[in-house]
Copies of this chain bind each other. A is one copy, B any other.
Amino acid sequence: MSAIETPTGDELLKVLAALGNPHRMRIVAALAEGRNYVSRLAREIGMSRPLLHMHLQRLEAAGLVVGSLELSDSGKAMKFFEVSPFAYALTPQVVAEAARTLTDQAAKTAGEQHEAGPEPDEQVSDEKERAT
């Protein structure tokens, strides 16, 4: 394979842990149909705002969704979220590669802010079936 930038162990771990939850899968699914703001989304998928807030934080920390605080015409501050066009390939060798760069801090701090600095592109995959 050509080196499609295997994701960092910590990064992949965050992504998998974030997506490995039914509520967060549904949140991503809901946002995939269009951006939305927190309170409304909470109403639509039927969960409390604080809870949704936490889940969104987790998803954002994993880089799967992005949120932006915007001002409505009425001056209300609303936080809109939308899915980021992520694309990960999940195969044994990807996991093996990622596991190589696993730090121990990823184990504990699953939901947290991204380190300041490099967060350029987690987009990968595209590989068609090339004979290895």
* Interface residues, chain A, with chain B CB atoms under 8 Å away: 9, 12-13, 15-22, 25-26, 28-29, 32-33, 83, 85-93, 95-96, 98-100, 102, 104, 106-107, 125-129
A contact patch SS:
helix
Residue of B nearest to A88 (CB): B90
4 A-B pairs with least C-beta separation: A16-B20, A29-B99, A17-B20, A88-B90
CA distance A89 to B86 in the complex (A): 10
Count of chain copies: 2
Q: Are A25 and B86 in contact (CB under 8 A)?
A: no
Q: Are B28 and A99 in contact (CB under 8 A)?
A: yes
Taking CB atoms, residues of chain B closer than 8 Å to A16 are: 16-17, 19-20
